[in-house]
Amino acid sequence: DRKKLGKLRKMPAVTRDGVEVALLANIELPEDCGPAMDAGAIGVGLFRSEFLFMGRTGQVNRLPTEDEQFESYRAAVLAMKGRPVTIRTLDIGADKPLDHAEQTALNPALGLRAIRYCLTEPQMFLAQLRAILRASAFGPVKLLIPMLAHAFEIDQSLAMIEQAKAQLREADIKFDPLIQVGAMIEIPAAALTLPMFVKRLDFLSIGTNDLIQYTLAIDRADHEVAHLYDPLHPAVLYLLSHTIAAADKAGVPVAVCGEMAGDTKLTRLLLGMGLREFSMHPAQLLPVKQEVLNSDLSLIAPVARKILRATEPQAIVEAVEQLRAL
Ligand code: PEP
Ligand code: MG
């Protein structure tokens, strides 16, 4: 079976009825680009940059310097050989603490994390933005902001990006002046109010891991409530479809990069809901591609519509089973 999947590497991901689907990789470190390329990823949809910042306890520099970051981002860009690399700014906190011993927030998942933290540490944030911008001189780079909840966080982030660009111009350092800036949609408040700020962004990426956590009030890392962590909860599906519709209306492309994107049991559901860009762990790329190749959107679409109109949760589970049997 692995052999068969290996042959899929170079094939484009297209449904039986000719709908193209973009399959990209989630990476944590530049070294993950090898497996991503091997599995035929057409780019990196999510570079979780916080992994460069974690596990540095005891090192002289608690944070990676701008140059160290630049080297890592550039390494990923070069390894992807002209395919786009989406670098997410520091998403630190909760399940990804800088230092476990220092985590003192009463409720880290709801605390000063990700973009909230970055906006309170402007020098650190500017250094990261400069490092990402510098890497954009070596190949296509996109910039992704995590954990947005408020429209003003986008305005502040965009202003900081402009400031970082100005600093580089001042120093005569090359970067892509047209670098695309997108946001993670992973807090229900952002999904629900998308029309109020979506036009300021070049693209969106739905983070289902946190979207489910915050919608259902289920700590994604707490085993005691893992049985209640449900991607098919009607509220989760409502937020997904609402986000896709609002993004489409604004003409802003939307991807999905949470675990749902790499779950072959859910590929047809997500296709049926209108998603055409999936970013996932490299190991899931070929199984998901196989699922795309075996799917026919004209058969999926009516069942997906039924799912969104379902009046009881069991009907959703049954319709997802029906999709898988098509
Ligand atoms: C997500 O929240 O779905 C996501 C992709 O980001 P992370 O898992 O790194 O929080
Ligand atoms: Mg997240």
Task: Evaluate: CB of 208 within 6 angstroms of ligand 1.
Answer: yes
CA of 215 to the centre of ligand 2 (A): 13
Task: Evaluate: CB of 209 within 6 angstroms of ligand 1.
Answer: yes
CA of 176 to the centre of ligand 2 (A): 26
Helix (H, G, I), strand (E, B) or coil at 272: helix
Distance CA 257, CA 243 (A): 14
pLDDT attached to residue 101: 67
CA of 168 to the centre of ligand 1 (A): 30
Helix (H, G, I), strand (E, B) or coil at 250: helix
Q: Say if CB 165 and CB 133 are below 8 A apart.
A: yes
Task: Evaluate: CB of 210 within 6 angstroms of ligand 1.
Answer: yes
186 is in an annotated binding site: yes
Neighbours of ion ligand 2 (CB under 5 A): 186, 207, 210
Helix (H, G, I), strand (E, B) or coil at 253: coil
pLDDT attached to residue 248: 98
Query: Helices (DSSP H) in the chain: which residue ranges?
Result: 2-8, 33-38, 66-79, 114-120, 122-135, 151-170, 188-192, 208-216, 234-250, 267-272, 285-293, 297-309, 313-325
Task: Evaluate: CB of 48 within 6 angstroms of ligand 1.
Answer: yes
Distance CA 146, CA 90 (A): 8
pLDDT attached to residue 5: 67
48 is in an annotated binding site: yes
9 is in an annotated binding site: no
Q: Which is the closest atom of ligand 1 to the Cα of 206?
A: 3
DSSP code at position 202 = S
Return averaged pLDDT per consecutive 10 residues of the chain, 326 residues in all: 77 97 98 97 98 83 93 98 98 81 83 95 97 98 98 98 98 98 98 97 98 97 96 97 98 98 98 98 97 97 95 95 95
Answer yes or no: is the ipTM higher than 0.95. Answer: yes
pLDDT attached to residue 94: 77
Distance CA 58, CA 84 (A): 34
pLDDT attached to residue 105: 85
Task: Evaluate: CB of 156 within 6 angstroms of ligand 1.
Answer: no
pLDDT attached to residue 97: 80
Q: Count other C-beta atoms under 10 Å from residue 81's C-beta.
A: 9
Q: Which of 12, 13, 10 is nearest to 264 (CA)?
A: 13
> pTM of this prediction?
0.96
The DSSP annotation for 19-77 comes to -B-EEEEEESSGGGHHHHHHTT-SSEEEEEGGGGTSS-TTSSSSS--HHHHHHHHHHHH
Dihedral angle sign, alpha carbons of residues 186, 189, 190, 191: positive
Q: Whose CA is nearest to atom 1 of ligand 1?
A: 207
130 is in an annotated binding site: no
pLDDT attached to residue 99: 76
